[in-house]
Chain A
Amino acid sequence: MKEIRKYLLVLICILLISENSYYIFAADNKKIENVIDEKVEKPNLVFEEQTYDFGRIYIGESVNHGFKFKNIGVGELVINNVKSSCGCTAALVSKNKLLKDEEGQVDVKFNAGHYVGKVTKSVIVNSNDPENLKYKLIITGEVIEEVSVSPKRINFGIIRRGDSCTKSIEIKIVPELKIEVKKVESPNPYVTITQNKISEENKYSYFVTINKYDYIGKFNGIVFIYSSSNKQERIDVPFSGEVVGDLTFYPENLYFGSFKKGQDVKKTIIINFVNKEVKIEKIETEPSNINYIVSELNNTGTKKIDVNLSKDTTVGKITGSLKIYTNSVIQPVINIPINGEIKG
């Protein structure tokens, strides 16, 4: 019994030692590293500032700032490279190897372009300073507009054929700049724009209406806002929407892409019935080696058409169509082009 206890004790000791041995060895290694560190002459990269706030700038303007640094260490400082995050550029304008007490500079340029809003951009300075291998510089600020329009894009959403839809846009001017809104217009003949007379000071409001658009399908266009601002002479507000008839379908084109002969490739068309009286009467495919199966999607009334190609279809380009005939007066036939390529 004593023997067993002895063995058990030895075993537990081995386990404990093995658990702690990593830490013991790690600690020893650290001690060795420290000894070596003390002997090596290390560089030390110090920036005058880590963050620069450029405050507020107007859209289209750019900001330049120089981050000054110094090597206060004993060893030679080597700047390997300077990397910036998207939307700003950074460059080392001094030499990349600096001895003790030598100074350098990293220039950062932020170009607002069309960006509006709060900005935080970072620049990473990669060097051989063991304490700061990747030094992060930050520039912050805000880009504002002389003339700001809300929304930036008008979404008319889904409109039934024959209906109208109105959305409003608001234009705000920076008061001290005394900018005028000269004109708001759209070349689209279905769009009318009227000013909302109850506008506040430095704030204009307009109603944009799409009237009885004849075509079924997606539409888009642009509302132009002309102002006396030098930076924003014209502001373009794109608009989009979709006019639906008795039914909608997706996709409008069926792409099989390129695939190998014999490969089973299936594509799906989904048809939604806006007018519940409308039914599919017939489907035709061209060429005839395009197969299809119609099913209902989870008892929603929505139809799903799975389309594939016969396995004996010859190598080469696929060009065809799927025609859906319905009892709708306004959408009696829907033509969906089919494209693809079979490789040998």
Chain B
Amino acid sequence: MKMYFGCLIIVTFIFISTKIYGSATDLLIIFSGEELGNLEPCGCFEGQIGGISRRYALIDSFRKQKKIILPVSLGDLTKSSGRQEVIKMEILCYALERMDYILHNLGEKDLEVGPQLISYLSQTNKVAFLSSNVQITSPFPTKINKYVLKEYVDSKNSFKIAFLGILSKSFFNNNISDFVNIIEPIKALELLVKQLHDKANLIILLSHAPLGESIEIAKLFPEIGLIITGHGIEEPKDSITYVNNTAIVSSGTGGKYIGVAEYSINNKLAPLYAKVFTKSKSVEIIPLDNKYKDSLEMVSLLKDYQQMLMDEDLLSKTPQMPLLNGLSYVGNLTCGICHKLVYDHWSKTQHGVSYNTLVNKGHQYDPECIRCHTTGYGFISGFLNYENNQNLINVGCESCHGAGSEHVKNVSNVYGVTDESICDMCHDNEHSPEFQFKGYWERIKHPKEFLKKLPNP
């Protein structure tokens, strides 16, 4: 009898607790943003993080865990205007589509690509464009959602999540002023938050704004459960902030990290605890390092990107600036005529083979890469393309010492004085974080040469 009662109590307890707690559904809000045109690690050094291929692999790993995943994008896929940025924007939007992103919040840099592309992508891409406070006033029809409401129903639970997105007025600039009208974010949110508070179980804001502004928004709208934010936050792991119960998170810049906010959702709690049935379990910022294998689908897309750069011959279309004082580049072989010893030494250094490193990567048609792997790219008489300028491939003499046309005409002229600041133009932290002048100089230090004195003309 005692045994029977004991078992009965345990069974009853399990039944009641299931009724109260229900069985939870795990939901992952996956967030990224501020790629600023970084499609993949450029390969300048080992250990670079980021890229859409690794991102795909990471998202795919969550998908395989059979969790509900909602990838969202904060904005600023590109960094400026121009044809290359336009191509990147297209490629990144396709990538988001293939990774099942549900929305992309508009950043000011996205808008800089121009109203026509925004219109085109908003009409043809499956990823919904979101902005609660940006109005496009161009003649091109553009589909921008003021909010996105997602409803999920499974055997255990049903719930709704509302996504809002804002662009800070502080980022409004001349390049977008002609076709964009930005409403004060707080004003835009007041109405929408009120409207969505009763409709959604969780409100998430994609706040394309400085951290300080997002904190103020969190204070004003406690109804918002999660704010995905940041502008120029380089260390997203250190930037997680809480205002009461609202987590304010960022995925950093350059597409290097992916943020994951995990929620446990349980409908059965609703009658007991009113709205509080989406429980934030954790927020994690994951660096996209080589732990994640490149996805073949994205690798193929990146190859298409390089192909587009080649087909459009973007290298030759980049504007060429005149050099100051009417100077022009003469090329490495010309220098080598008199400076044979130095030339021979240089050709065996990394500078002397830097063009080949691009060829090996298949990036030799990419204007962004070519600048630091050739001589004088972007300037009249500098490298423009391989077909016409084989004498200017690699980081040549004139990359460090300046255009040599006057020196060739009059060798006694003061020429070639340079310092380590010139190295920083390419050896920046993004591409060469280990760079230290002393150590690196040793690798390229020219041998001493004794030139015959030439008579002055």
Residues of A within 8 A of B (CB): 3-4, 7-8, 11, 62, 83-89, 91, 111, 113, 122, 124, 136, 150-151, 153-155, 157-158, 220-222, 224, 233-234, 236, 238, 240, 242, 248, 250-251, 253, 255, 257-258, 268, 270, 272, 274, 297-298, 300, 302, 304, 339
Query: How far is B83's CA from A240's CA once the two chains are assembled, in angstroms?
Result: 11
Q: Which of A8, A83, A155, A236 has the most CB of B within 10 A?
A: A155
Q: Does B235 touch A at the CB level, under 8 Å?
A: yes
Q: Which of A124, A236, A257, A304 has the most CB of B within 10 A?
A: A257
Residues of B within 8 Å of A224, CB to CB, are 322
Residues of A within 8 Å of B435, CB to CB, are 89
In addition to A155-B178, A233-B324, 12 A-B residue pairs with Cβ atoms within 8 Å of each other are A4-B5, A111-B424, A113-B424, A113-B428, A155-B175, A157-B178, A236-B321, A257-B307, A258-B304, A270-B119, A270-B123, A274-B139
Task: Tally chain B residues at the interface, Cβ within 8 Å.
Answer: 55
Quote the shortest CB–CB distance from B215 to chain A (angstroms): 16
B300 touches A258 (CB 8 A): yes
Interface pairs (11), CB distance under 8 Å: A4-B5, A7-B9, A84-B433, A85-B234, A89-B436, A157-B178, A220-B82, A248-B116, A250-B120, A251-B90, A270-B119
- Known A-B contacts A155-B178, A238-B319, A258-B304; the reply to A89 vs B312 at CB < 8 A is no
Query: How far is B423's CA from A184's CA once the two chains are assembled, in angstroms?
Result: 30
Q: Does B2 touch A at the CB level, under 8 Å?
A: yes
Residues of A within 8 Å of B301, CB to CB, are 257
- Which of chain B's residues has its CB closest to A240's CB? B81
A151 touches B5 (CB 8 A): no
Query: How far is B10's CA from A272's CA once the two chains are assembled, in angstroms?
Result: 70
Query: How far is B239's CA from A85's CA once the two chains are assembled, in angstroms?
Result: 14
- Which of chain B's residues has its CB closest to A165's CB? B178
- List the 3 closest pairs (A to B, CB-CB), nearest first: A257-B304, A157-B178, A151-B174
B308 touches A3 (CB 8 A): no
Q: Does B117 touch A at the CB level, under 8 Å?
A: yes
Quote the shortest CB–CB distance from A101 to chain B (angstroms): 28
B235 touches A85 (CB 8 A): yes
**Contact among A154, A257, A339 for B300, CB-based, below 8 A:** A257
B9 touches A221 (CB 8 A): no
- Known A-B contacts A222-B321, A242-B114, A258-B300; the reply to A88 vs B429 at CB < 8 A is yes
Write the B300-340 contact mask toward A (1 if CB under 8 angstroms, else 0). 11011001100110000001011010000000000000000
B124 touches A253 (CB 8 A): no
- Which of chain A's residues has its CB closest to B94's CB? A257
Query: How far is B116's CA from A240's CA once the two chains are assembled, in angstroms?
Result: 14
Write the B432-449 contact mask toward A (1 if CB under 8 angstroms, else 0). 010110000000000000
Q: Which of B2, B177, B300, B304 has the most CB of A within 10 A?
A: B304
Quote the shortest CB–CB distance from B277 to chain A (angstroms): 20
A300 touches B141 (CB 8 A): yes
- Which of chain B's residues has its CB closest to A167's CB? B174
A-B contact count (CB 8 A): 123
Residues of B within 8 A of A (CB): 1-2, 5-6, 9-10, 13, 81-82, 90, 114-117, 119-120, 123-124, 138-141, 173-179, 234-235, 238, 253-254, 300-301, 303-304, 307-308, 311-312, 319, 321-322, 324, 421, 424-425, 428-430, 433, 435-436
Quote the shortest CB–CB distance from B214 to chain A (angstroms): 17
Residues of B within 8 Å of A248, CB to CB, are 116, 140
- Known A-B contacts A151-B174, A250-B120; the reply to A62 vs B141 at CB < 8 A is no
A255 touches B308 (CB 8 A): yes
**Contact among B1, B13, B124, B139 for A268, CB-based, below 8 A:** B124
Quote the shortest CB–CB distance from A197 to chain B (angstroms): 23
Query: How far is B117's CA from A250's CA once the two chains are assembled, in angstroms?
Result: 7
**Contact among A3, A62, A258, A274 for B2, CB-based, below 8 A:** A3
Query: How far is B312's CA from A253's CA once the two chains are assembled, in angstroms?
Result: 9
- Known A-B contacts A157-B178, A234-B324, A258-B303; the reply to A86 vs B139 at CB < 8 A is no
Quote the shortest CB–CB distance from A31 to chain B (angstroms): 27
Quote the shortest CB–CB distance from A113 to chain B (angstroms): 7
B324 touches A251 (CB 8 A): no
Query: How far is B174's CA from A238's CA once the two chains are assembled, in angstroms?
Result: 13
Query: How far is B143's CA from A298's CA once the two chains are assembled, in angstroms?
Result: 10
B238 touches A136 (CB 8 A): yes
Query: How far is B307's CA from A221's CA once the two chains are assembled, in angstroms?
Result: 26
Residues of B within 8 Å of A222, CB to CB, are 319, 321
Q: Which of A4, A124, A270 has the most CB of B within 10 A?
A: A270
Residues of A within 8 Å of B319, CB to CB, are 220-222, 238
B173 touches A151 (CB 8 A): yes
A4 touches B9 (CB 8 A): yes
**Contact among A7, A83, A251 for B6, CB-based, below 8 A:** A7
Query: How far is B7's CA from A244's CA once the two chains are assembled, in angstroms?
Result: 81
- Which of chain B's residues has its CB closest to A61's CB? B421
- Known A-B contacts A234-B324, A258-B303, A270-B119; the reply to A87 vs B175 at CB < 8 A is no
Residues of A within 8 Å of B304, CB to CB, are 255, 257-258
